[in-house]
Amino acid sequence: MTVTAMLPDGQGGGSARATLRRNFWRGVARVLRRKPSRVAGVVILALFALMAVVGPMLYPAHLPRDDDALYAPPSLAHPFGTDFEGTDVLALVVTGSRYVILTGLATAVITVAVGTALGLLAGFHRGRWDTVLMRVTDLQLTIPGLPLLLVLSTVWKFEGPLEMGLVLGLLGWGGIARAVRSQTLSLRERGFIEAARGLGLSTPHIVVRELLPGMAPYIAMNMLIAVTGAIYAQVGLFFLGVLPFDSNNWGVMLNLAVFGGGALTSAAALPYLLAPLLAILLLTLGIVLVVDAMDEIFNPRLREE
Amino acid sequence: MKRLTAIAALAAIATATACGTTGTTSSGGIYTTIDGAKQIDASAPINPFNPQGSTFVGYDTMSLGWPKNDLMNPDLFYPGLAASWSATPDQGEVVIHLRPNARWSDGKPVTSKDVRTSIGLAYTQGGSAYTVNAGAAGAAADVVIVDDKTVKITQGANRSNAFLRNVLSTVVVPDHVYGALLPAGFWRTLQDARGTGPAADKAKTEITGLSQKVITFSPREDVSAGPFVLERVNPGAALLKRNPYFYDSAKIVPDKVKVLNYTGNEQIWNYLVSGKLDSAPFTAVPAAVMARIKATAGNEVRKGYSPVAASMAFNQSRKPYDDPHVRRALAYLIDRAQVTRVASPEAGTPSIATTGIHGSAAKAWLGPGLAGLNPYKVDPAKADQELRAAGMVKRKGQWGFADGKPWKVRLTVPAEFSDWVAAAKSITSQLNDHGIDASVTTSADYTLYLEELASGKLDVGFWLMALGPSPYNIYQRLYGSANGWSLLAGRLTHSPPGKDGNWMGGPEKIGGVNPGELTNRLNLATPEEQKKIVGTLAALTNQQLPVIQLYDYVNTQFVNTSRYTGWPPHDSEALRLPAGVWMQLGMIEKK
């Protein structure tokens, strides 16, 4: 017998779930309204998402250049000035956003997927599984990411954002795996898991339907934080000049502004330096503000306040 | 060390100098500069054979002579430790006369034995006139001490007209410090190494086996024959003090020289902007930074001839770059003036035409013949003609191969050369404007880039060329080992593309002319013959375009007139030499 059998027609499990969803989104709206900064965070992320999806379509494949306006100062025509060959810096930032954000997302997905899967597996099964997987995780945590990427870049050209994301993701799952494992170890001893076991539910069902939802908020927040980490890592690598050249890549822009334009010595290339920096800053800020909101949405104690 | 300082101070007091400088007064002041050739490594030995060594050319490291920056004649030198020299017409024999009053900073005289030991040590490192490769062109075969101040150096059978300048470029170190590095019987082993067969091979291995021992040798203190001697070095700077025994001490004005360390160009720019440097060698500078440097009180720029040019080079074993029509088409589409404005506005001039030679030298070598060469002015219509002649097809505004395959121009540059990156981007933008799918790829660093180039991995890359003033050196960049021609045991051989470092992959003969052979002949030719050969090679290069010459470098130096004056003028023959040599030439005075 189930709860739904006792409900009148038209008010089955589906509508109960719908009610739950509605309540959830109302809660989300309430949490966002509580602090305007959180709304700003959502708006910033939405803008960047829009920029990544639509931005490159707004410009021609090869951005126009003004041969007589190299490192032109900011103006109405060029709000962030122009670069070393007279290309509008704002156009470069907009068209370059897709690569950065795609890489960030790919990294986050891989980091979270691998970390969560291994953490759940190790924490739920314990024993030899746990020992082996955690030794692998320890090994992964000891790998120095940046030096390895520097070496890898000499043999691998990382020509697409997904390639870049794959490598960054495979270098970043260790922390999440350990955290998820410890949470799993704690949750698996709770009564509801015992009950599920007693009911003879399958392990995949227990892990996916009982354990995972409890950890979903934590995983979601880690995913967003992983995006910022990925952005820093890739921009840093491009800034160091070890990755393929693409003039609208934010890291490449920073590199060219500093080393080619002398942005740290003279003001001419300063807008060229500040534009990608501002984009990185805003994107990171947006993520941090949304994570702050998520924290309250998912944390019952904070919600009670 | 303290004792040496005291002796030096006493000797300095005893030495009357033109400006009345003594070791204890500071009327000459501290001259501040950087070493353009290397950053400072405080842990490196005080040894000129060590690439990172704490020694500074022109200040405490001395050569027999200092090369003049001449357009055509590579044999013009200012005297260094050699007061004079003579050479037979074929340069088979060079006689060096050392300065009679040259002494080391410990008071011992500079003698022929020092020169001989220095040559012996140079053999362990290999290269130029001192190599154990049997039959290498221009290698010394015998070093004879005529007397205390005279050395006779004889070339081997395989002569080269580069011998004199290679000998004069010899760095001289004191025998009483470095002599022990050469084992007993070294000269006999060297003689054996010049032959062929197993015994010679064993001897060669013995000689080159000393290389590391020489490089890592760390003397307790600097013993210098130059105007200065190292006092101390730390990670931030090296400080050199006057060498009271320097043969021309009266000409040297500063009491001390401070060589500042730097981690990158930006640090040098900041030094210059703050007016810290009395002089700085060539550094790539963006236009806006140059304006700031010039705005600093006392800062001035000195410009002169720099025998180097930047070019875009093709791997002719890759399609479609094997076809000269394609290479010409690309030349017609590249606006070199715009590339130069974007990449090197302060230190480059757009190349007049692709000749293989720097523009200034080309005028001297080719005379009116230069005007007859194709300048490849931007002309999209001609580019279209050339591409069609090569069988390329334009579909939907994009050029591709006749069989429908897309044509993607991948232009590779080392990521650390910001001017090359900017130039490459400018070129690809221009090519994209004309329907050629072009993009820039980067190699992580220059060493890796050269490896990728040599292994034939790249389609199109950037290549330094026109390395004058020697015409052989100029054309060796285009028709030397990178294009398949190498000289072994006096015999010129041509390797097929992809073998022995031949990445350019050009044809061995073009219209019956073998450019590699002609280049090799420059090594032995008389000046008249050289002119003829250079004319032929320039015309061939202009017509075939193994490279597209983009911009010719301008040597841009910085000086500051706040503390010192008497700097070399624009286009001075001494401009590319370190400031220590300017001092030796009596150029720098206290303000």
DSSP annotation string for B401-426: -TTS-B-EEEEEEETT-HHHHHHHHH
Query: Same domain for B448 and B436?
Result: yes
Reading the block at residue A281, the tokens are 């800053």
Average pLDDT over residues B90-116: 97
Query: Measuring CA to CA, which residue among A252, A95, A234 is closest to residue B440?
Result: A252
Query: Same domain for B182 and B293?
Result: no
- In the prediction, which pLDDT does B61 show? 98
Amino acid sitting at position B320: P
- A245:B287 CB<8 A: no
Tell me the residue range of the domain where B100 lies: 62-212
**Which of A154, A157, A262 lies at the smallest CB-CB distance from B288?**
A262
Query: Same domain for B246 and B354?
Result: no
Amino acid sitting at position B376: Y
- pLDDT tens digits for B152-186? 999 988 888 899 999 999 999 999 999 999 999 99
**Nearest residue in B to A153, CA atom:** B444
Query: Same domain for B198 and B233?
Result: no
Query: Same domain for B387 and B496?
Result: yes
Q: Are B262 and B39 in contact (CB under 8 A)?
A: yes
Q: How far apart are CA B239 and CA B42, in angstroms?
A: 11
Read off φ and ψ for residue B257, nearest 5 degrees. -125, 130
Residue in the structure block whose two tokens are 């001035």? B300
Q: How far apart are CA B259 and CA B32, in angstroms?
A: 6
Q: Is some CB atom of chain B closer than 8 A to the CB atom of A30?
A: no
Query: Same domain for B580 and B547?
Result: no
Confidence of residue B83 (pLDDT cuts 50, 70, 90): very high
Q: Are strands B485-488 and B460-465 parallel, antiparallel or unpaired?
A: unpaired
Out of A6-15, A124-133, B73-82, B410-419, give the one with best mean pLDDT.
B73-82
Within-domain flag for B19: no
Q: How far apart are CA B301 and CA B283, in angstroms?
A: 11
- In the prediction, which pLDDT does B242 show? 97
Average pLDDT over residues B438-456: 91
Within-domain flag for B12: no
- B448:A85 CB<8 A: no
Q: How far apart are CA B414 and CA B314, in angstroms?
A: 16
Within-domain flag for B264: yes
- A71:B419 CB<8 A: no
- pLDDT tens digits for B500-528? 899 999 999 999 999 999 999 998 899 99
Q: Is B550 helix (H, G, I), strand (E, B) or coil?
A: strand
Asked if the model's pLDDT at residue B339 lies above 90, the reply is yes
- pLDDT tens digits for B348-362? 999 999 999 999 999
Give strand pairing partners of B487. Answer: B492
Confidence of residue A304 (pLDDT cuts 50, 70, 90): very low
Interface size A-B, in CB pairs within 8 Å, comes to 83
Query: Same domain for B169 and B188?
Result: yes
Reading the block at residue A278, the tokens are 């501002």
- pLDDT tens digits for B374-387? 999 999 999 999 99
Query: In the structure, how many helices (H) and strands (E) does chain A have?
Result: 13, 0
Confidence of residue B15 (pLDDT cuts 50, 70, 90): very low
B→A contacts (Cβ < 8 Å), by residue, are 264-266, 269-270, 273, 285-289, 291-292, 338, 341-342, 413, 415-416, 418-419, 421-422, 424-426, 429, 432-433, 440-442, 444, 448
Lowest mean pLDDT among A108-112, B219-223, B490-494: B490-494
Asked if the model's pLDDT at residue A91 lies above 60, the reply is yes
Asked if the model's pLDDT at residue B324 lies above 90, the reply is yes
Contacts of B429 in chain A (CB under 8 A): 62, 65, 85
Cα angle A272, A245, B433 (rounded to 5 degrees) comes to 85
**Which of A67, A70, A265 lies at the smallest CB-CB distance from B269?**
A265
| Domain at B369, CATH number | 3.10.105.10
- In the prediction, which pLDDT does B524 show? 87
Contacts of A157 in chain B (CB under 8 A): 441
Last residue of a domain, one of B150, B181, B212: B212
Asked if the model's pLDDT at residue B438 lies above 80, the reply is yes
Largest interatomic CA distance in chain A: 79
Query: In the structure, how many helices (H) and strands (E) does chain B have?
Result: 19, 25
- In the prediction, which pLDDT does B445 show? 84
Lowest mean pLDDT among B134-138, B320-324, B439-443: B134-138
Confidence of residue A242 (pLDDT cuts 50, 70, 90): confident
- In the prediction, which pLDDT does A13 show? 55
DSSP annotation string for A106-135: HHHHHHHHHHHHHHHHHHHH-HHHHHHHHH
**Nearest residue in A to B423, CA atom:** A85
Query: Same domain for B55 and B68?
Result: no
| CA–CA distances in Å: residue B96 to residues A182, B115, B165, B225, B516 | 80, 10, 12, 17, 33
Within-domain flag for B82: yes
Cα angle A203, A204, A209 (rounded to 5 degrees) comes to 105
Classified by CATH at the fold level, domain A33-302 comes out as MetI-like fold (1.10.3720)
Within-domain flag for B18: no
**Nearest residue in B to A266, CA atom:** B289
Cα angle A157, A160, A163 (rounded to 5 degrees) comes to 75
Q: Are strands B171-172 and B237-242 parallel, antiparallel or unpaired?
A: unpaired
Query: Measuring CA to CA, which residue among A283, A271, A282 is closest to residue A89?
Result: A271
Cα angle B32, B37, B39 (rounded to 5 degrees) comes to 70
Average pLDDT over residues B387-410: 95
Lowest mean pLDDT among A271-285, B116-130, B485-499, B556-570: B485-499
Query: Same domain for B548 and B569?
Result: no
Reading the block at residue B205, the tokens are 């291995």
For residue A16, the tally of other CB atoms under 10 A from its CB is 13
Within-domain flag for B10: no
Reading the block at residue A232, the tokens are 């820093």
B327 CA to chain A: closest CA distance, Å? Answer: 23
Confidence of residue A301 (pLDDT cuts 50, 70, 90): low
Q: How far apart are CA B521 and CA B515, in angstroms?
A: 10
Within-domain flag for B164: yes
Q: How far apart are CA A193 and CA A215, in angstroms?
A: 14
- B292:A264 CB<8 A: no
B215 CA to chain A: closest CA distance, Å? Answer: 28
- Radius of gyration (C-alpha) of chain A in whole angstroms: 24
Confidence of residue B20 (pLDDT cuts 50, 70, 90): very low
Query: Same domain for B492 and B392?
Result: yes
Q: Are A167 and A152 in contact (CB under 8 A)?
A: yes
Q: How far apart are the first and last CA of chain B?
A: 32
Q: Are B537 and B520 in contact (CB under 8 A)?
A: no
Last residue of a domain, one of B167, B183, B212: B212
Question: At a CB cut-off of 8 Å and minimum separation 6, what does A287 contact?
Answer: A41, A45, A224, A225, A227, A228
Contacts of B424 in chain A (CB under 8 A): 245
Contacts of A146 in chain B (CB under 8 A): none
Contacts of B421 in chain A (CB under 8 A): 245, 256, 260
Q: Which of A70, A248, A254 to mutate to test the interface with B (most CBs of B within 10 A)?
A: A70
Within-domain flag for B217: no
**Nearest residue in A to B449, CA atom:** A154
Query: Same domain for B488 and B348?
Result: yes
Query: Same domain for B542 and B565?
Result: no
| Domain at B116, CATH number | 3.90.76.10
Contacts of A71 in chain B (CB under 8 A): 287-288
Largest interatomic CA distance in chain B: 84
A14 CA to chain B: closest CA distance, Å? Answer: 54
Reading the block at residue A140, the tokens are 């992964």
**Between A168 and B241, whose confidence is greater?**
B241
A96 CA to chain B: closest CA distance, Å? Answer: 16
| Positive or negative torsion for Cα B270, B274, B276, B278 | positive
Cα angle A121, A123, A128 (rounded to 5 degrees) comes to 75
Last residue of a domain, one of B212, B238, B256: B212
Average pLDDT over residues B360-365: 95
Average pLDDT over residues B381-399: 96
- DSSP code at position B209: T
- In the prediction, which pLDDT does A188 show? 84
Q: Is B591 helix (H, G, I), strand (E, B) or coil?
A: coil
Reading the block at residue A170, the tokens are 């495979």
Confidence of residue B313 (pLDDT cuts 50, 70, 90): very high
Q: How far apart are CA B156 and CA B134, in angstroms?
A: 9
For residue B422, the tally of other CB atoms under 10 A from its CB is 27
Question: At a CB cut-off of 8 Å and minimum separation 6, what does B404 contact?
Answer: B395
Asked if the model's pLDDT at residue B312 lies above 70, the reply is yes
b/e per residue B206-240 (b: at least 16 CB within 10 A)? bbbebeeebbebeeeebbbbbbbbbbebeeeebeb
| Domain at B241, CATH number | 3.40.190.10
Conformation bin of residue A10: beta by default, left when phi > 0, alpha when psi is -120 to 50:
left
Average pLDDT over residues B431-460: 92
Q: CB burial class (10 A; 0-12, 13-18, 19+) of residue B591?
A: exposed
Lowest mean pLDDT among A12-16, B8-12, B352-356, B573-577: B8-12
Q: Which of B426, B431, B458 to mutate to test the interface with A (most CBs of A within 10 A)?
A: B426
| B234-238 CB contacts, 8 Å cutoff, 24+ apart | B234/B42, B235/B40, B235/B42, B235/B261, B236/B40, B236/B260, B236/B261, B237/B40, B237/B261, B238/B40, B238/B54, B238/B56
Asked if the model's pLDDT at residue B133 lies above 90, the reply is no
Asked if the model's pLDDT at residue A1 lies above 70, the reply is no
Lowest mean pLDDT among A37-41, A293-297, B540-544, B566-570: A293-297
Amino acid sitting at position A257: A
Please give the tally of structural domains in chain B: 3
Asked if the model's pLDDT at residue B3 lies above 60, the reply is no
Asked if the model's pLDDT at residue B12 lies above 60, the reply is no
- pLDDT tens digits for B523-550? 889 999 999 999 999 999 999 999 999 9
